[in-house]
Structure formats: structure tokens, C-alpha cells
């Protein structure tokens, strides 16, 4: 024991001599001159990425953060790292940022890194050569100082309350994968259902819980795709516009949310979808036979994991969360099935008049997740993208709410060929609710993430 202590003390003294107290490193993350650092080979180890970092946390660094010594081919560098690792708790297609500052994440792994049945390339590591901001929801701010270092994407979050999409590029500048950065200026919470499922308190991408704000809508997703599309810029109907909320590039210029051809399905492939995260893919050319955004021969019911309860590589939820399984919200109606009588909806009596009626609707429903504990959560009617036209149905904002499940509908006699299950409700001239409806996979719906461990 004494021998180990002596060796550890020697190592710490040596490390402090070689690396200094940290006070020399006035410019964060800028390495000192490698030629001035003569470190024995015994402390240098080759790793998968070419270097190994030895932490000095136990030797008492004098600067905030973690002091590292990095042994590489160019010599020995040391620096203080104050960059938060978003992928430390696990990789995903979405990362939540709740504090302004410096961030990075592993850009060599697709989603959570788990293979998907029927798809070959998902097990391969990414080898990004560059990075770009695809879009952000604010023309000024949100994200800057974007860079790629050793297979990691680095960026600065300057202000919160928005969304952004960052992409890794190959040597030709093509997108090889992209990640949703969800910037929140308030904490998210989980609400527990009677069945014990922990449901996030807001839609994926929502930056507000205010029913009078379009920021409560979050983002919209074609079933099985990991990349989001902006929802409506208004909170309720009254417009026939197909234009979603505006998004911008790094220079503040508007980015177009495009749609694929309605005449043919040439581009309806997984590879095209990954490389073109701002293009909504139309199913019009094969509408009668298959309402998937993928060509019928490529249609895959496992893209979001399905009923096996496992989060998939294309799941759009942040680490620790996944798209819910079909049936998670069966309690939305008293029968567990399709209802047209509001009295049969399991929703919160927000006006406290003892009656469940249209007065309890606020551009969406406050769904009771647990009747006994009075736990509820707001589900806004964020409208949807029509899968055939591949455009936003702006007139249905505040009137139609659709929420994807992870399960595809694989029944041969389905009224929606190549469909998937969803929670759906309508308000207005006709009122209805269905905890387990079926929609075309090319439609763009909301997503309400649930805890992985709760399923």
C-alpha cells in the first residue's frame, strides 16, 4: 500500500512539473509547446483515436475544469478542458442544452449506435471531415463557433430557447449524419402514467409549455426518420399556409424546407433521407400501395425499434428517452379506442366546472396520465405534414394533434398500407380521439418521448 502511495505521489509531482499548475494555460484548450514537455514513454499510450488523455483531477489542478496531458505523435500537450460532453451519458440523435457554454459530442456514432434489422451501414463508424449548421430556429444567436476535432463536433451555445440541426460532412461536403440540438431555457420534467411510464412534459423540440405559444408545438417527424421539421408558426387555425416556422443558416439566411417529387419515388431511400434532412419525402407516387416515405421495396418496420421496447439507431429522442410503444396512451379515452364524445376523453378539467367539455380544450388537450394522482400533461394540436404533398397542413394548427408511436402497422388488411400507429385527436367541426390510430409513415407528426427505463 505504501509503495503504491509513493508511486502515485511521484506521478502527481512529475505531472505537475510537466504540466505546470495549469496557470500557464491562459487560452483555454490551446496546447503549450510540445517540445518543452519531455514525458517518458511509460506515460504515453496509443489508443483508438491515436492519443490517450491522462486526467490530473487527483493532483489538484488550480484551474476550473479538468486538466489533461495528451500524448500524441506531435508531442505532449496539456490544457484545461471546460467543454461539456453531451454524449457522455450515451450517444443519440438529439441532445438537450440548458446552459449557455461550450459543448461537444461524439460524431463518429450514428444515433445510439445500435444496428437496425435489414440495414447494413448502421454498424459502421462515421469518419467526418467537416461540420456545418444545417438550420437553426433563430436568425441571430443560438449556436456558433462550430468545429470538428478528433471526431467530435464542438460548438458554443450563446442563448437558449430554440432548436438547431448540426451535420457531419464527408470530404466532398455531403451530409453523412445530423444531430438535433434542443436548446432549453427551462428544465424538463417527467410525468408518470398509471402504468408507470415516465413521459416527458413537452413535445420533442418544444421550448415552452404555454398553450398560447407556437413554441409549445415542438418539431414534426416523418415516421422512422431521425431528423425534425419545423412546425407551424401560429398557435391555431385560420390559415391555409403550408409554410412552417422559419429556420436559418449560420449567416442568418432563410433555409427552405423542401419536398421531394410527387411524380416519382426515385429519391425515396434511406441514404437520401440521411443526406437531405431538410427535404420532406412524398409518398404520392406510391400512395395506393404504400404510404411510406421509403419506396415500398425498402419499407422497414424496425426503423424506430417497434414493439420490442428497444431504442433504435434512428430514434429522434435524447439520451435516456425513446419514442413510446403503441398503447402507451390507451387511457386517453375511457374505452381505450376511438371516441367522438368528449365526455369519454380522459382529460383534465382545466376550468374546474366539474364537466369535461369543449371549454377544456386549449389548442390541444391536457391529457390525464394518471387519474388517481391527477397527473396530466399538455398535448398541443401541432397539425402535421401531409405525406402525399409533403407539406405542412397549416389550416389544422390548433385543431389536429398526432403523436407517433414506435410501432409500424404490419397488418395485411390495414386501411393504411405501410402505416404506423399514433395517438390522434381532432377538434372543431368534428371532435374525435383515438389512442391507437394508424397514419401513413410519410406524414409528419409530433413525438412525445418517454423514459427508456420505464418501458
Residue at 288 is within a domain: no
Residue at 257 is within a domain: no
Higher pLDDT, 367 or 372: 367
Instruction: List, in order, residues 6 or more apart from 177 with CB less than 8 Å away.
Output: 107, 110, 126, 128, 167, 168, 274
Residue at 124 is within a domain: no
First to last CA, the chain: 46
Q: What is the pLDDT of residue 7?
A: 43
> H or E element: which one contains 131?
strand 130-136
Instruction: List, in order, residues 6 or more apart from 88 with CB less than 8 Å away.
Output: none
> What are the helix and strand counts (H, E) for the chain?
2, 27
SS3 state at 366: strand
Residue at 452 is within a domain: no
Q: What is the pLDDT of residue 296?
A: 95
- The Cα–Cα gap between 54 and 68 comes to 6
- The Cα–Cα gap between 290 and 269 comes to 14
Grid coordinates belonging to 448? 412525445
Tell whether the model's pLDDT for residue 79 goes beyond 70.
Answer: no
> Whole-prediction pTM value?
0.83
Grid coordinates belonging to 183? 436548446
- The Cα–Cα gap between 455 and 450 comes to 8
Residue at 78 is within a domain: yes
- The Cα–Cα gap between 93 and 126 comes to 14
Q: What is the pLDDT of residue 452?
A: 93
SS3 state at 10: helix
Q: What is the pLDDT of residue 34?
A: 38
Q: What is the pLDDT of residue 239?
A: 66
> How many separate domains does the chain show?
1
Each residue's pLDDT tens digit, 26-36? 333 444 433 33
CB atoms near residue 78 (< 10 Å): 25
Residue at 285 is within a domain: no
Q: What is the pLDDT of residue 17?
A: 40
Of 187-201, 228-242, 256-270, 416-430, the range with the lowest mean pLDDT is 228-242
Residue at 131 is within a domain: no
Domain that holds residue 39: 2-82
Gyration radius from the chain CA atoms: 25
Pairing, β 101-106 against β 84-85: parallel
Residue at 28 is within a domain: yes
Q: What percent of the chain has pLDDT over 70?
A: 81
Q: Which phi and psi angles does 266 have, rounded to 5°? A: -60, -40
Amino acid at each position: 500500500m505504501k509503495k503504491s502511495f509513493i508511486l502515485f505521489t511521484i506521478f502527481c509531482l512529475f505531472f505537475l512539473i510537466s504540466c505546470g499548475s495549469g496557470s500557464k494555460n491562459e487560452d483555454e484548450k490551446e496546447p503549450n509547446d510540445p517540445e518543452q514537455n519531455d514525458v517518458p514513454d511509460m506515460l504515453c499510450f496509443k489508443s483508438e483515436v491515436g492519443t490517450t488523455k491522462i486526467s490530473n483531477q487527483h493532483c489538484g489542478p488550480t484551474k476550473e475544469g479538468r486538466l489533461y496531458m495528451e500524448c500524441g505523435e506531435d508531442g505532449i500537450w496539456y490544457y484545461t478542458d471546460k467543454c461539456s460532453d453531451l454524449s457522455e451519458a450515451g450517444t443519440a440523435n438529439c441532445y438537450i442544452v440548458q446552459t449557455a457554454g461550450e459543448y461537444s459530442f461524439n460524431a463518429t456514432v450514428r444515433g445510439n449506435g445500435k444496428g437496425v434489422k435489414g440495414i447494413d451501414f448502421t454498424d459502421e463508424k462515421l469518419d467526418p471531415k467537416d461540420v456545418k449548421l444545417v438550420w437553426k430556429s433563430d436568425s441571430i444567436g443560438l449556436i456558433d463557433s462550430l468545429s470538428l476535432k478528433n471526431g467530435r463536433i464542438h460548438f458554443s451555445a450563446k442563448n437558449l430557447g430554440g432548436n438547431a440541426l448540426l451535420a457531419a460532412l464527408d470530404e466532398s461536403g455531403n451530409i453523412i449524419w445530423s444531430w438535433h440540438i434542443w436548446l432549453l431555457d427551462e428544465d424538463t420534467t417527467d410525468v408518470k402514467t398509471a402504468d408507470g411510464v415516465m413521459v416527458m412534459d413537452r413535445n420533442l423540440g418544444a421550448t415552452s409549455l404555454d398553450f398560447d405559444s407556437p413554441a409549445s408545438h415542438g418539431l414534426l417527424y416523418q415516421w422512422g426518420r431521425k431528423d425534425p421539421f419545423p412546425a407551424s408558426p401560429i398557435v391555431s387555425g385560420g390559415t391555409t399556409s403550408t409554410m412552417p416556422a422559419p429556420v436559418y443558416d449560420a449567416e442568418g439566411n432563410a433555409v427552405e424546407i423542401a419536398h421531394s417529387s410527387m411524380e416519382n419515388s426515385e429519391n425515396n431511400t434511406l441514404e437520401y433521407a440521411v443526406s437531405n434532412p431538410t427535404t420532406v419525402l412524398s409518398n404520392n407516387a406510391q400512395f395506393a400501395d404504400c404510404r411510406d416515405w421509403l419506396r415500398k421495396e425498402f419499407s422497414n418496420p424496425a426503423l424506430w425499434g417497434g414493439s420490442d421496447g428497444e431504442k433504435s439507431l434512428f430514434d429522434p429522442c435524447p439520451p435516456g428517452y425513446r419514442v413510446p410503444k403503441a398503447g402507451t396512451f390507451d387511457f386517453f379515452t375511457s374505452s381505450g379506442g376511438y371516441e367522438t364524445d368528449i365526455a369519454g376523453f380522459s382529460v383534465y378539467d382545466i376550468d374546474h366546472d366539474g364537466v369535461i367539455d369543449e371549454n377544456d380544450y386549449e389548442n390541444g388537450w391536457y391529457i390525464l396520465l394518471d387519474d388517481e394522482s391527477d397527473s396530466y400533461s399538455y398535448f398541443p394540436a401541432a397539425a402535421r405534414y401531409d405525406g402525399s404533398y409533403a407539406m405542412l397542413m397549416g389550416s389544422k394548427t390548433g385543431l389536429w394533434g398526432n403523436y407517433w408511436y414506435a410501432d409500424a402497422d404490419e397488418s395485411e388488411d390495414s386501411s393504411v398500407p405501410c402505416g404506423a400507429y399514433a395517438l390522434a385527436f381532432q377538434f372543431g367541426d368534428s371532435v374525435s380521439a383515438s389512442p391507437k390510430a394508424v397514419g401513413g409513415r410519410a406524414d409528419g407528426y409530433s413525438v412525445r418521448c418517454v423514459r427508456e427505463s420505464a418501458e
